[in-house]
Structure 1
Amino acid sequence: MPMPDAVSRALCEQVSADLMMEALGELQHWVKLSGSAEELTSLELVRKRIETYGYRTEIILHDAMISLPGAARLETGGRTWTCITHSHARPTPAGGLTAPLVDVGEGSQADFDAADVRGRVVLVAGLASPAVTARASAAGAAGQIHFTRDGHIHEMCVSPVWGSPSVETVDRLPCTVVVTVGLDDGEELRAMLRDGRLSEVTLFAEVDTGWRKTPILIAEMEAPEAPEDAPFVLFSGHHDTWYYGVMDNGAANATMLEVARLMASRHADWKRGLRFAFWSGHSHGRYSGSAWYADHHWDELERRCVAHVNVDSTGGRDANILTGSGCAAELRQVAIDAIRDQAGQTYKGKRFGRQGDESFWGVGVPSIFNSISHHAQNVGAEPGAMKLGWWWHTPQDTLDKIDAQNLVRDTRIFVQVVSRLLFSPVLPLDYRAHAADLRSVLSGLGEELGDRFDMSELMARLDEFSVLAERTAATAERSASSEQAERLNRALLRTSRALVPMDYTQGDRFVHDPALAQAAWPVLQPLRALARSAPEGAEAALCYVSARRAANRMAHALRSACETLAGC
């Protein structure tokens, strides 16, 4: 039987630009707003293609809170300014919202703290975002006007609530009107305000927010002779779009179809199953599709899903930087190998942010990638802005923005990654890297806390886990028997269930944290709060209680992981 690496190389050579561009030629004709008839029609085209490769398919229709922006305009003293409003922003009354305007710079917390914005409209330099909208809502602002430094007006979703809201999260939905104007208009508004030529503005915005049926396309195939409850790899990408969304996310859907075709051609070599998920609600529901799927398939995912591969916006014209996509530490070597082999670049990697359809960390599923090919950032641009091209989230995201050779390159990377996960007898999850990342975090916390908190139990547990992770990796690197490989795979899966939620959530495995920035290992945030608090007093005492409980949660996860690896 061919070695997995040889199979992977052969499949990468077979990636077809013609087939992917043909698929894009079909998908480019549909504006795929979440829950729309056009989205479902387009998804049926994807379904027909993937069924020809032998996959069993299902389209699930489920309820989700979807928000579709409508018409918007800004008026000042008889002048009308062009603008758009955003998903999950508040609509205005029929007569508009008139209020004083106040400049809050880039909309940082310090910017809001320095200004009285109650009942006012804030002017913000930067993308409309969940973070700024949450600050504006908390500060009592009535509205927001944004402008971006790249000179283009980009559609955005401004809700910080991950997925559809619940009883516990509905109050966190935005309570401000939000619009975006062009760069020149934004700078002119700022100058008029500064010079005293402008004091108040009137906003008009229509936003259609409500519950509607949205689709998820599932396509799957089990490994040969595998039982129904056998492990599987989840490979996902969203199907809904802003405008025609040929790059974001039509190209990624073409990548998924090509990976499906090539993997099916080597079905006999699979060691585990493969499940594709095409989400709705990514753009207009803050990842409502993947969040719904995590909620309604939690038990199955917890028992069976070994890894989540996510794809977004492949093949962009001039997108030639492939060194900075997100990846879980335990899959970092898989990413390094794929980027080196298929793009000739050195993957630097980074922690995932709270973005993309990463709804499975609470379940305990490690993830790799999202968008992988990026543009160089212009000097002076806001961090991370427009790394997917100036056309991102605009009507100009059309077929001419796709470079067929870049699409082949990017798809080969995903072919190699999925091949490793499907064909390797032992899952390529390296918990030595995970342990090293955690050691860096805990050591830094120990230095910050000094004698204010005893870190010895956590460090001892980590030392034990590091030894076991090293032993497990050494065993996996040898030619393990099929029985030994099965034991190792079960242990690696259970280890991920213990540690991934600690690495990427605040610790509750059954809820979704907000779509807001988090520090590494957010479960340890109470220890950071203790380190920042005054050495003595009531605040320090309160922070200590929270820190103790957080340390217990982390220590328990490490103990569970140690017991699992010790038994394999």
Structure 2
Amino acid sequence: MTHPAPLDEQVDDARMWRDLEVFARYVKLSGSSQERESFAHLEAEMAAAGFETALIEHDAYISLPGAAALALEDGSERFECITHSFARATGPDGLVAEAVIVGAPTPENFAAVDLRGRIAVIDGLAASDATRRANLAGAVGQVHVMPHEHRHEMCISNIWGNPDAADMATLPATAVVTVNDADGARLKASLSGGQTRLRITAEVDTGWRKTPILQADLMPEGRPDAPFILFSGHHDTWYEGVMDNGGANATMLETARLIASRRGEMRRGLRLCFWSGHSHGRYSGSSWYADAAWAELSERCLVHVNVDSTGGRGNTSLADMPVCAELHGFGNEIVSRLTGQSLTGQRLSRAGDQSFWGIGVPSMFLTVGEQPIAEGTANVASGFMGNAGPARKGAGFGWWWHTPGDTLDKIDAEILRRDTRIYVETIRSLLTAETLPTDHANWASAMRGALAPLSDAPVLAELRLERSLALLDRIAAAAGPVPDLALRDLSHLLVPIDYTTGDRFRPDPALIAQAYPILAPLRAAVAAAEAGEEHRHHLVAARRSANRLAETLERAASLLEGLASHREVSHVA
């Protein structure tokens, strides 16, 4: 009797390439007619695979950049540029102001210049953290200078998803453009030579529009309300976006087709979601879905698996695939077994469609392969990866990321197959395992590593952080296999303190955040005391965070200890 090949070995390269050829026909701006045509292909393929599909239309606050121009005020020199999603439009007459060279977007560099009423000339990617610093410094315009010949499209909103009424006042308030290295050098030379006034002209179409989400479900036979694994990626793109995110969409379709062929083995359901609004609404699709489906996700969603930019040419380094601590061992085992590479343990960063941490859903993966640092410029193209942690092995994606160059020729069929096999095996394992492969002892170890240095700080002595450290030891000691519904309850406790500031219903800003945001007030109190500054106001917030941490860990330890006692009784019986 012959046995079928492992599911990941059945990945059909030709079928994925046909999907990519369809995606390459469209420029998929959020809410556009071309995006809807491409979504129709997704829906047809998912229905053909046996999934129950629903194409959901919802309101999203979307910003589409248009034409842009940059010149010296007298018009004697012009510089090729692009503007950005959520930058301010200038009107046809443009914005004219004196320009000031900032350099790298560090707090020190911003503090050293007066940007009030001026245009800031900033080195590097137009990322939301850099643009927000310029806003807060009083700039009226920004010019970002790339370190290479390419200009990368960016969404510079600091709001995660759709803004509410209070958020509107914190959206970007300046005109923003990006130039490449050559134009940046000419610009700086002109400014240094005494011509200090620039004219920025930029068109940006920002407002509410309808955008789609495709939801596709495959549940175990006879269990339509089963707990499920969420597998998601965005479908909207900059330009054709064949790598970002056509490769990931091809991976999702192929994974879904193969999983459907083994439906009888599923212990849990599978839900795929294809988002719009990722690129032009700062994750508006997944954020809206987290709000609209909050109760169902809280009740039924066990793990979120995210996928972005699979198959990119030259993306050979897998070491930095991010994963939450409790699923790191599981993810590392799959990547190591299928590819021979090991994960470095990078934390998930505030990027991608990671919109479900507040609800309490553990998450794994985001990006897959990256350019090796030895063969590329470290972390230039994919600037959003820079906050993921130290000791990175990857240098981001290729130069074509977020440019018109992201076309079909940037996909390597062998790398796409490698990446898709990782996702097929990940999803298959999550759907069929008797108990999900979570390791809360590893989670406790990671949290202890972050908390331990603070426990020795004299200024925090009265907070009694040793209690939380003891609770982490209890969690590690009691950790073991956790049934699905108990895992859900445990995740609702631990994931928010791992990745959020605390509100289960409102996402944190789309800005770089330190690991374990719950510890940020404690770190601030220590930093103020060490700098000889007034620290007692920091202690107010630190005490509240310490209380929240201890109370959450107490509940988690009690839950795990109850499960451990049950396992012991069952074993004796």
Report TM bin, short chain.
Answer: over 0.9
Deviation for aligned residue 1:383 = 8.7
Deviation for aligned residue 1:168 = 2.9
Deviations 1:240-298 (A, max 9, x none): 00001111101110000000000000000001000000000000000000000001111
Out of 505, 514, 522, the residue aligned to residue 519 of structure 1 is: 514
What is the aligned partner in structure 2 of residue 482 from structure 1? none
Residues 162 and 284 in structure 2, CA contact (< 8 A), matched pair in contact too:
yes
1:460 to 2:470 alignment = yes
What is the aligned partner in structure 2 of residue 86 from structure 1? 84
* Distance verdict in 2 for CA 1:147–1:68, change over 3 Å: same
* Distance verdict in 2 for CA 1:381–1:25, change over 3 Å: closer
With 404-413 and 167-176 compared, the bigger mean Cα shift is at: 167-176
Inter-partner Cα distance in structure 2 for 1:454 and 1:222 = 47
Out of 206, 209, 223, the residue aligned to residue 206 of structure 2 is: 209
With 329-338 and 306-315 compared, the bigger mean Cα shift is at: 329-338
Residues 220 and 267 in structure 2, CA contact (< 8 A), matched pair in contact too:
yes
> Which amino acid is the alignment partner of residue 303 of structure 1?
E
Inter-partner Cα distance in structure 1 for 2:85 and 2:91 = 17
With 122-131 and 77-86 compared, the bigger mean Cα shift is at: 77-86
Q: What is the aligned length?
A: 546
CA RMSD of aligned residues (A): 1.8
Deviation for aligned residue 1:163 = 0.1
Structure 2 portions without partners, runs of 5+: 384-394, 564-573
SS at match of 1:90: coil
Structure 1 portions without partners, runs of 5+: 477-486
1:145 to 2:132 alignment = no
Residues 381 and 397 in structure 2, CA contact (< 8 A), matched pair in contact too:
no
Inter-partner Cα distance in structure 1 for 2:458 and 2:492 = 28
* Distance verdict in 2 for CA 1:464–1:40, change over 3 Å: same
TM-score by length of 1: 0.93
* Residue pairs, 1:331-350, within 5 angstroms: 331-350=327-346
SS at match of 2:404: coil
Inter-partner Cα distance in structure 2 for 1:139 and 1:379 = 30
Deviation for aligned residue 1:540 = 2.0
Residues 322 and 348 in structure 2, CA contact (< 8 A), matched pair in contact too:
yes
> Which amino acid is the alignment partner of residue 559 of structure 2?
T
1:445 to 2:454 alignment = yes
* Distance verdict in 2 for CA 1:83–1:535, change over 3 Å: closer
Inter-partner Cα distance in structure 1 for 2:476 and 2:378 = 42
Residues 334 and 420 in structure 1, CA contact (< 8 A), matched pair in contact too:
no
Deviation for aligned residue 1:138 = 0.7
Residues 449 and 530 in structure 1, CA contact (< 8 A), matched pair in contact too:
no
What is the aligned partner in structure 2 of residue 323 from structure 1? 319
Deviations 1:182-211 (A, max 9, x none): 110112212222233x21100000000000
* Residue pairs, 1:396-415, within 5 angstroms: 396-415=405-424
Residues 445 and 472 in structure 2, CA contact (< 8 A), matched pair in contact too:
no
> Which amino acid is the alignment partner of residue 468 of structure 1?
A
Out of 187, 190, 203, the residue aligned to residue 188 of structure 2 is: 190
> Which amino acid is the alignment partner of residue 511 of structure 2?
L
Deviation for aligned residue 1:497 = 0.6
What is the aligned partner in structure 2 of residue 266 from structure 1? 262
Deviation for aligned residue 1:54 = 0.3
What is the aligned partner in structure 1 of residue 392 from structure 2? none
Deviations 1:379-429 (A, max 9, x none): 576495461110001111100000111100000000111111101010111
1:222 to 2:219 alignment = yes
With 106-115 and 396-405 compared, the bigger mean Cα shift is at: 106-115
SS at match of 2:529: coil
Out of 16, 19, 26, the residue aligned to residue 22 of structure 2 is: 26
* Residue pairs, 1:539-558, within 5 angstroms: 539-558=534-553
Inter-partner Cα distance in structure 2 for 1:445 and 1:504 = 18
Moved over 4 A (4+): 379-386, 535-538
What is the aligned partner in structure 2 of residue 433 from structure 1? 442
What is the aligned partner in structure 2 of residue 419 from structure 1? 428
SS at match of 2:92: coil
Residues 150 and 381 in structure 1, CA contact (< 8 A), matched pair in contact too:
no
Residues 70 and 85 in structure 1, CA contact (< 8 A), matched pair in contact too:
yes
Out of 174, 196, 200, the residue aligned to residue 197 of structure 2 is: 200
What is the aligned partner in structure 2 of residue 123 from structure 1? 121
1:154 to 2:149 alignment = no
What is the aligned partner in structure 1 of residue 570 from structure 2? none
Residues 150 and 390 in structure 1, CA contact (< 8 A), matched pair in contact too:
no
> Which amino acid is the alignment partner of residue 201 of structure 1?
L
> Which amino acid is the alignment partner of residue 208 of structure 2?
W
What is the aligned partner in structure 2 of residue 10 from structure 1? 6
Deviation for aligned residue 1:538 = 8.8
Deviation for aligned residue 1:110 = 1.4
SS at match of 2:272: strand
SS at match of 2:538: helix
Deviation for aligned residue 1:338 = 1.7
> Which amino acid is the alignment partner of residue 547 of structure 1?
A
What is the aligned partner in structure 1 of residue 498 from structure 2? 503
Out of 344, 347, 351, the residue aligned to residue 347 of structure 2 is: 351
Deviations 1:289-318 (A, max 9, x none): 000000111111111101000000000111
